[in-house]
A and B are shown apart, each in its own frame.
Chain A
Amino acid sequence: MSALLEQYAKIVGDDVIDQLRQLAARLQGMKVVHINSTREGGGVAEILSWLIPLKREVGLDVVWEIITGEQDFYQCTKMFHNGLQGNQASIPESLLEGYERTNAEYAESMREVLRDADFVVIHDPQPAPLLGLFPDRRGKWVWRCHIDLSHPYRPVWRYLRDHVEHYDASIWSLSQFAQPLSHPMYLIPPSIDPLSQKNRELYPGEVNAVFDRYGLNPDIPLITQVSRFDRFKDPIGVVQAYRLIREYTHVQLVLAGGGASDDPEGEEVLKEVRAEAGDDPDIHILLLPSDAHREINAIQRASDIILQKSTREGFGLTVTEAMWKGKPVIGGDTGGIRLQVVNHHTGFLVSTPEGAALRIRYLLKDRENLEEMGAKAKQFVKSNFLVTRHLRDYLTLMNAISHGTLDRIDL
C-alpha cells in the first residue's frame, strides 16, 4: 500500500482502502479528464484538488483541465449559476454567444486529449457545451452538476438542458437537485479530505493563535460562518442572527471568506455585509486568500459553533468541514445541508435569522449537548462524507456505466 493510502487507512480502516483497490482493478490505466472553470476557490476546485491525486493513487491516468475565458464568459456563467438556483434573470444573447465561442476555442485546444479519453467529467455549466463539439469522442462523458437545480429559472435551464441532455450520464449531489434527463442520473454527495490543510488535525497552539491574530477574545464564545461572499450564503442573515443573540449574550462573530476567480459578484456582496456590520468591534469580516486553508482550519477549530445559513446550497462543504472538527452546525434548511445536519443530532436546521439565533443561544447555554452534537457530527462525516467514500462512488459509477442500466453488475 502506498504511503498516501496508508494515511487514509489509518483514518477509515484497511477494509475501506482494500475495497477501493479492488474496485479500481478493472479500471487500471484508464484515461480520465476532469474539466471545471477554476483551480482555486469554491468547493468544486477543492474537491478536485484532493480527489484527483487519490484517483491517480489507485491506478487511473487522470488529468485536471481548466476552461478559462474573458470577463464576459464569467459574467455569463455567474448568471447561469444564479438562474439555475432560481434567480429570474435572462441571459443576454451576446453573453451566450461569448460562452459558446469560449467553449469552441477551448475544444480546439483540447481536441486530442478529450477525443481519446476513456472517461470525461465536465463540472457545472461552464464547460457543458464541450460534448457537442466532440462528435468523434471515444469515451464516456458525464456531466457533474454541483448546483442546487431544484427550482431553476426555466429559460436558463432549458438552454443548458440542450447542452447536457446528450451526455452518457449525469451526477447530482442529491435527488432533489436533479432535473429529469433521459440518461442515467447518478447521485454522489461531495466529500472532504481529512488529510488536506483545511481538515487535518492542528496543534492547539496553532488554533489558539487565531485569537491574537484577528483580535478575538478567547474567553467569549465565537460563532463563525466560512463561505464566499455570495447572497445565497445569506451573510446578512448571519449578522442579523448575531445581533439578536447579542441582546442576551456576549458573543463574537467571524465571517470568513474569499472570492472565487469565477465569481464577479463577491466584492459587491462584501460591501453590503460590511455596511450591515457597521462598526461593531465583535464582528470580524475576514477576507482570506483562496489558499488560506490552514487558517480556515484553525478558525473553524477555534469556534464554538459554525453557521452555514444558506438559502440555497449545492452541498455545503463548509458544513462537512465544521462537522469533521467536532462542531455542531446551524445550517439553512436547504439543499445538501439537510443531508448533513441531522436536526437535533448533528446541529440544527433553520429558516430565519431568528431561528439561527435561538439555536445558538440554546447550544451556548447547554455546553454538554454542544459537545455531544459535535462528536456525533464528526462520526457522521467519518462514515459518509470523506474523500474515500467519494472515490468509491466514482469507481462504482465507472464500472457501472459501461454495463448500461442493469441493476446488478457482476464484474
Chain B
Amino acid sequence: MEVIRRNAMAEPFEVKDCALIALATGMEAQNLRELADRIRNIPTGSIYYHFWGGMLRPTFDEPEYQNDFAAWAWRSLHDPHLAERLALIDPTGFKEMEDLRREILDVVEERLDESPYIPWAKTGQRFHFEKSQIVVFDTGQRLQEPHELVKIIPHLSLGSVFYHMIDARRRTDRGRSDFSEWLASFGDKYKSVVESLSGIDPYFTNLMALRNEVEAVLKKYDWERGE
C-alpha cells in the first residue's frame, strides 16, 4: 500500500503501557457535608482516580453512574437528584483538575443548600477516598508510519489504551490522545482522522469499547488518499 510520505520531523510513535494500583487514603465521608469538606482538601490525584480509575479497577461494565461520587450519592445517600447531577459532570471538559474539583463542589454545595437536612450514609457505607499510583512502561514497540496504527490497536492491552487515550489528556498541551498528537505532528495531512479521533468520547464507555471505537475510526480512514 502506498501511503502518505512521513513528515521528516515526526518522531516514531512509542507504544507504552501502564498499570494502575489503588491505595486507600484513610480519608472518608459519612455525610454530604463531610464529602464537601474532604473534596476541598484531597489531592487532585484522588479526584482523578474517582473519575477515571474505574476503568482500570474491578468495576461492573454497566455502572449506573460513571464516577464514584455519583455512585455513592445514589447507593449510599439514596439521593437520585444529586447522583444525576454528579454523573453529568464530564471530566474530559476540564483541562485542570482544580476546575473539576470546583465543579464537583458547586454541585454538592448546591444540593446542601437545597436539602432541609444533611444527607447521611449508613455506618458501613461511608465514602472512602482512594488514590492511585500509575506505573508506566515502554513496550519497546515503535511505529514509523501512521497507517501502522490500524494493525496495532486491536492488540493493545487495556492499560495501553488507557495510557494513550485517557492519561494522555493530562500530559498533552491540547488535552488530546497520544494518537491525535502524533498524527498532528505530520502537519495537516491527517487532519480529518485527528478530528475523528478527537471526537471520540472516552468517558461514557469502557476500555474495551474504547479500543474498538479507535480501531473503527482508523480503519474507516483512507490512508492512501488521506481522507
Q: A interface vs B, CB < 8 Å? A: 14-16, 18-19, 22-23, 25-26, 150, 172, 175-176, 178, 180-181, 184-189, 334, 339, 342, 345-346, 379-380, 383-385, 389, 392-393, 395-397, 399-400, 405-411
B126: chain A residues within 8 A (beta carbon): 176
Do A175 and B155 have beta carbons less than 8 Å apart? no
A22: chain B residues within 8 A (beta carbon): 17, 137, 139
Known contacts A407-B132, A409-B136; is A396 also within 8 Å of B61 by CB? no
- A43 CB to closest chain B CB (Å) equals 17
Known contacts A178-B24, A339-B58, A383-B61; is A150 also within 8 Å of B19 by CB? no
- A272 CB to closest chain B CB (Å) equals 26
Q: Which one, A189, A345, A393, contacts B62 given CB within 8 A? A: A345
Additional A-B contacts beyond A400-B135, A411-B136 (9; CB < 8 A): A15-B157, A16-B157, A19-B19, A178-B128, A339-B58, A385-B58, A395-B19, A410-B137, A411-B135
Q: Which of B136-160 contact A (CB under 8 A)?
A: 136-139, 155-160
Do A409 and B133 have beta carbons less than 8 Å apart? yes
Do A407 and B133 have beta carbons less than 8 Å apart? yes
**15 A-B residue pairs with CB within 8 Å:** A15-B158, A19-B17, A22-B139, A23-B135, A178-B128, A186-B24, A187-B23, A189-B58, A383-B58, A384-B59, A385-B58, A396-B20, A409-B136, A411-B136, A411-B138
Do B21 and A188 have beta carbons less than 8 Å apart? yes
Q: Which one, A25, A186, A408, contacts B134 given CB within 8 A? A: A408
Whole-angstrom CA separation of A5 from B152 in the bound complex? 22
- A315 CB to closest chain B CB (Å) equals 11
Known contacts A175-B24, A407-B45; is A379 also within 8 Å of B61 by CB? yes
B133: chain A residues within 8 A (beta carbon): 396, 400, 405-409
- Flag whether B130 is at the interface (Cβ < 8 A): yes
Main secondary structure on B side of the interface with A: strand
- B53 CB to closest chain A CB (Å) equals 10
- Flag whether B26 is at the interface (Cβ < 8 A): yes
Do A185 and B21 have beta carbons less than 8 Å apart? no
Whole-angstrom CA separation of A345 from B64 in the bound complex? 11
Known contacts A186-B23, A396-B21; is A409 also within 8 Å of B135 by CB? yes
- B102 CB to closest chain A CB (Å) equals 21
Whole-angstrom CA separation of A19 from B162 in the bound complex? 13
- A238 CB to closest chain B CB (Å) equals 21
B58: chain A residues within 8 A (beta carbon): 189, 339, 383-385, 389
- Flag whether B88 is at the interface (Cβ < 8 A): no
A395: chain B residues within 8 A (beta carbon): 19
Q: Which one, B21, B62, B131, B159, contacts A19 given CB within 8 A? A: B159
A346: chain B residues within 8 A (beta carbon): 60
Known contacts A385-B58, A409-B134; is A396 also within 8 Å of B128 by CB? no
Do A185 and B24 have beta carbons less than 8 Å apart? yes
Whole-angstrom CA separation of A353 from B202 in the bound complex? 42
Whole-angstrom CA separation of A399 from B60 in the bound complex? 27
B17: chain A residues within 8 A (beta carbon): 19, 22
- B46 CB to closest chain A CB (Å) equals 10
- B61 CB to closest chain A CB (Å) equals 7
Q: Mark B1-39, 1 if CB is under 8 A from A, else 0.
A: 000000000000000010111111010000000000000
- Flag whether B124 is at the interface (Cβ < 8 A): yes
- A387 CB to closest chain B CB (Å) equals 14
